[in-house]
Amino acid sequence: MSKPTFYFHPFSGPCRTVSTVAKILNVEMEMKKLDLLTQEHLKPEFLKVNPFHKIPTFVDTDGFTIDESRVIAMYLLQSRKPDSFLYPNNDLKKRTQIDRWLHYDISFATIISTPMYCKFRGKPVQDHQVEQGKETLKTLDGVMASFGGKFLTGSDQITLADIAMYFSCNTMEIYSEYFKFDDYPNLKSWYQRVAEALKQYDTEGEIPKAIEMIKQFAQQRMAESAKQ
């Protein structure tokens, strides 16, 4: 039986969101790594697959092609296991709560990662970027104060929203100069709960290994940018 194809890079949080969902669903994919630093995503063969030259990109066995990590993950869940606790097709209100957090995560991920990407490119980090990040995290931490040991939708199980937000928050673990988990105890507690919940699916410890690799890469890139 043919497998769907997944174009990815292991350093990408959105890519890790999709690969984690696929693992939970036991969906085997043909993994095609694209090196963005050497611009493999701009080569003609990939542009034929995705003219937007973005990863992650998912190609199903019938040729159906989509990008955007949250959309890919929702498609996988609805096409392979629509009754999954990650994104339950039979519970509109629960699914709407998940969608709310997924939409929130789009801007959240950008806000908390901006200082790190500025450092990557050797550009100065602006005060307003740091303040926006701190204010966003403070608000989120306040919301999470009422969770009582539960996950984003108030349940005892993780959902797609928790997975996507978790990988966005990896940025704070990778680069903590401006945003530190210890300053946001409720966020830190939730983050640790998700990490623990994912261990049963990440039996080979690939998630912490990837985070450590990205840390090393980030330190190297920032050191190189600082010299320029």
Supply the pLDDT for residue 221.
76
Q: Give the per-residue pLDDT at 228.
A: 65
123 or 22, which is more confident?
A: 22
Beta strands in the chain (DSSP E): 5-8, 30-33, 57-59, 65-67
Look at residue 1 in the predicted model and tell me its pLDDT: 64
What is the average per-residue pLDDT within 198-204? 93
Report whether pLDDT(225) > 90: no
Instruction: Report the pLDDT value the prediction gives residue 40, as an integer from 0 to 100.
Output: 94
Q: Determine the straight-line distance between the first and last CA of the chain, rounded to whole angstroms.
A: 50
Nearest in space to 139 (alpha carbons), one of 113, 176, 111: 111
- Encoded tokens for 175: 């680069």
Q: pLDDT above 90 covers what percent of the chain?
A: 82
Strand order in the sheet with 30-33: 30-33, 5-8, 57-59, 65-67
Percent of the chain with pLDDT over 70: 98
Measured in whole angstroms, the distance separating CA 9 from the mean position of its chain's CA atoms is 12
Q: Which residues contact 156 (CB under 8 A, 6 or more apart)?
A: 150
Taking the C-alpha atoms of residue 225 and residue 196, their distance in angstroms, rounded to an integer, is 35
Q: How far is CA 37 from CA 13, 34, 158, 171, 181, in A?
A: 16, 9, 33, 19, 29
| pLDDT(223) > 80 | no
For 66-118, the DSSP string reads EE-HHHHHHHHHHHH-TT-TTS-TT-HHHHHHHHHHHHHHHHHHHHHHHHHHH
Mean pLDDT of 91-106: 97
pLDDT-based confidence at residue 222 (cuts at 50, 70, 90):
confident
pLDDT (average), residues 37-63: 96
Q: pLDDT of 46-55, one tens digit each? A: 999 999 999 9
Whether the pLDDT of residue 30 is over 80: the answer is yes
Active site residue 12: yes
Confidence of residue 107 (pLDDT cuts 50, 70, 90): very high
If DSSP codes are grouped into helix, strand and coil, which group holds residue 31? strand
Among residues 55, 40, 52, the alpha carbon closest in space to that of 5 is found at 55
Asked if residues 168 and 105 have their Cβ atoms less than 8 Å apart, the reply is yes
Looking at every residue in the chain, the average pLDDT score rounds to: 94
pLDDT per position as a tens digit, 161-170: 999 999 999 9
Rounded to whole angstroms, what are the CA distances from 123 to 35, 114, 119, 228? 23, 11, 6, 10
Contact between 16 and 210 under an 8 Å Cβ cutoff? The reply is: yes
Instruction: Give yes or no for residue 28 having a pLDDT over 70.
Output: yes
pLDDT of residue 192: 98
Of 12, 69, 113, 168, the catalytic one is: 12
Cα separation of 77 and 84, whole Å? 7
